[in-house]
Structure 1
Amino acid sequence: MGVKMKRIVIALLLVLTAVVGLAGCKKSNTPTIYVYNWGEYIDPEVIKMFEKETGIKVKYDDFVQNEDMYPVIQTGSAKYDVVCPSDYMIQKMIKEDLLQEINYDNVPNISNIDPTYLKSAEEFDPGNKYSVPYCWGTVGILYNKSMIKADIDSWGALFDKDFMKANGYDGKVLMIDSVRDALGIALVYLGYSLNSTNPAELEEAKNLLKDQFPMVDAYVVDQVRDKMIGGENPIGVIYSGEAIYTQRENPDLEYVVPKEGSNIWIDGWVIPKNAPNKEYAEKWIDFMCRPDIALKNFEYITYSTPNSAAREMIEDVDIKNSTIAFPDSSILERCKTFHYLGEEVETLYLNKWNEVKSN
């Protein structure tokens, strides 16, 4: 190749490099927020509204369980600006210094969050420094009254083989596929704390779940909703928000928080320590706390909102006064939040759960 030709090629390469570089700059200058949330846990229209009103593009990923989300944030394999874990996981992430404090000067709509839920959130986030409640609810039993004639008010309906056989649903139980929820249910049924750290109690809970194994049709989370609506199964464990939706679709379905007690959970927005865009994260959190946005999300996902201003805007009287969406004190007083129990106990829980599922 001649000298002149070499110069032409070099010149073209330099131009091409500059063009690519400019294109890269243009892309990086587009404001973008990276959001990590539970699946089907936001009205898609809300994302579009946020983008339109702020000019910030939303890159949105979802997860199935807290335990799926945690290693992503802990290892830094992906950097998100804002994430929505549950109570005990928020507590764990605070202890491990994975979160940064929220500047509430940038979140004025925090005033719409009912002080009751902010106080409850202090159990896992003292001073509400790192999280803002997004949704809350209970864990209970959903059953089909046309398929099970007996009234159900106990977790025993998931474990008592004689009761199951008498009501014709042995082998048809939909059990929740969640370490803390499943073991928590077994623990409270046995009369123990759902935050037990006692190895003997956990062993007893594990054995109860192993005995239940032949009665279980499937271990599920989101799938319980469609299976129960379609009448595929007569009974399952479900989150309260999903129960509201299922009852709309199938009036034969009944939700109950068992008499032995249950979990009351709070999911909240947090900002990871390595978040690339804290400013955008706080804009997102403030947007989610706006009454009209909180209402829109509630109507779409049917999980209880801690936003008192949004609740006042609910027009459907039955939903506004629903004891599933907004249970009274007689139900709430027998429900407890999950706590982070430490790495050693957490491993013990996971090992017990793996033993159950490898039955």
Structure 2
Amino acid sequence: MRVFCITLWASAICLFGFASPALAQGKVVNVYNWSDYIDPKVLDDFTKETGIKVVYDTFDSNEMLETRLLAGKTGYDVVVPSGPFLQRQIAAGLYQKLDKARLPNSRTLWPEVMARLAVYDPGNQYAVNYMWFTTGIAYNVEKAREKIGDAPLAPLEGALDSWSIIFKPELLKKFADCGVYVLDSPEDLFSTALQYLRLNPDSKSQSDLRRAADLLSLLRRSVTKFHSSEYINGLASGDICLAVGWSGDSFQARNRAREAQNDVEINYIIPREGALMSLDNLAILKDAPHVEEAYAFIDFLLRPEIAARNTNATSFANGVLASKPFINKDILDNKSIYPDAATMSRLFTARSYDQATQRLITREWTRIKTGK
């Protein structure tokens, strides 16, 4: 999900010509972010403007980030956790409260997005939003028409604006022979299944979660693979035809197919039942060795023109409302990236699990994927 990197154990050192945290000298900021989640030239421009080198490492999952943080002193200054992980990492005392006076560009943040972030960070004390996105359905348009035809699901060219395409086995199996990938993310899938069942998508009730697990267990018959990044290239190359994925990644798949000129057309939709809204957020670690530089880096990313450049490069919506005039029209007008008010009202968030619920989710997700 979300810089072209060389994976090395728990992190990936990105090819911007910067050293690892242990080797950095002088004015520096050490950043740990998701892969494919920034315009690389933004880092160069930050260094040219401020004289601060950026040591930029990447991770591929919140679990990788959390494992690194809980292992002890990391040397990182700025990290980018998603909402539920931010919530429990705040509780664990990993972050310092932000001094908004040191982030003058925070005045241009999107109030609605920050209000949703407050579910995880009450009062928006510890983090500001970097990017946000939805979990929905990505598909190969030509193959979807072949598989669905005129099935009475939706007005969208015969097909796919409902989670039914995923949760009704008789519909999902139509795609099994052309490849179906699903995010390896129980947080996304459980909340989505709960929403589809017309239960509270933020429910922590064990009976609700078991109902969701039973529904999700039906996927295994038709799903080729559970993975949270391989579906991007799979869709772009035409190797798979359907995925439960993230909006920005799905549009990256579309863009890669267009660049390859391989006649593969990819679309992504937010199903009519609603979708999970996820937020990736900028926070400063409590033991950050370069606090001044961390503030400078975050404030640079919050500059409207810079936030827009990162959105234009990644196809993810950003949390800076004032960036909209600088965003490419095809992205800004895409309601699957920047939903209209009616669609926004159908987006939901889900808080982190307590330990007992997390054990249940982990156990059930293993059963869902393996059948054991």
State the TM-score, normalized to the length of structure 2.
0.84
| CA RMSD of superposed structures (Å) | 1.9
Contact 2:175 2:241 in 1 (8 A): no
Question: Unaligned regions of 5+ residues in structure 2, if any?
Answer: 1-22, 149-158, 259-263
Higher helix share: 1
Partner of 1:332: 344
Partner of 1:156: 164
Q: Please, which of 112, 117, 123 is the counterpart of residue 127 of structure 1?
A: 123
Q: Is 1:343 paired with 2:355?
A: yes
Give the Å deviation of 1:239: 1.0
Contact 1:137 1:304 in 2 (8 A): yes
The aligned amino acid for 2:171 is F
Deviations 1:291-328 (A, max 9, x none): 221111111111002212221122x4332221012101
Deviations 1:20-43 (A, max 9, x none): xxxxxxx77512211110111111
SS in 2 for 1:70: helix
Partner of 1:4: none
**Could you tell me how far apart the structure 1 residues matched to 2:304 and 2:59 are?**
26
State the TM-score, normalized to the length of structure 1.
0.87
Partner of 1:142: 138
SS in 2 for 1:270: strand
Give the Å deviation of 1:184: 2.0
SS in 2 for 1:35: strand
Q: Please, which of 90, 93, 99 is the counterpart of residue 89 of structure 2?
A: 93
Change (3 A) 1:169 1:53: same
**Could you tell me how far apart the structure 2 residues matched to 1:240 and 1:28 are?**
35
Q: Is 1:31 paired with 2:27?
A: yes
Q: Is 1:281 paired with 2:275?
A: no
Give the Å deviation of 1:185: 2.3
Deviations 1:148-174 (A, max 9, x none): 123112222123222234x45357211
Contact 2:73 2:287 in 1 (8 A): no
Partner of 1:358: 370
Displaced runs of 4 or more, over 4 A: none
**Could you tell me how far apart the structure 1 residues matched to 2:162 and 2:276 are?**
14
Q: Is 1:58 paired with 2:51?
A: no
Q: Is 1:261 paired with 2:274?
A: yes
Q: Please, which of 198, 202, 209 is the counterpart of residue 191 of structure 1?
A: 198
Partner of 1:10: none
The aligned amino acid for 1:279 is E
Contact 1:35 1:58 in 2 (8 A): yes
Give the Å deviation of 1:107: 0.8
**Could you tell me how far apart the structure 1 residues matched to 2:67 and 2:254 are?**
35
Aligned length: 331
**Could you tell me how far apart the structure 2 residues matched to 1:72 and 1:28 are?**
19
Change (3 A) 1:117 1:159: closer
Change (3 A) 1:145 1:171: closer
SS in 1 for 2:232: helix
**Could you tell me how far apart the structure 2 residues matched to 1:128 and 1:321 are?**
28
Q: Is 1:46 paired with 2:54?
A: no
Contact 2:315 2:331 in 1 (8 A): no
SS in 2 for 1:267: strand
Give the Å deviation of 1:50: 1.6
Contact 2:175 2:242 in 1 (8 A): no
**Could you tell me how far apart the structure 2 residues matched to 1:53 and 1:31 are?**
13
Partner of 2:102: 106
SS in 2 for 1:216: coil
When structure 1 is superposed on structure 2, of 231-240 and 206-215 the one drifting more is 206-215
The aligned amino acid for 2:166 is L
Deviations 1:64-95 (A, max 9, x none): 11121112112215231010011111111112
Deviations 1:124-161 (A, max 9, x none): 11221100110111110011221112311222212322
Q: Please, which of 162, 169, 172 is the counterpart of residue 176 of structure 2?
A: 169
The aligned amino acid for 2:336 is I
Q: Is 1:302 paired with 2:315?
A: yes
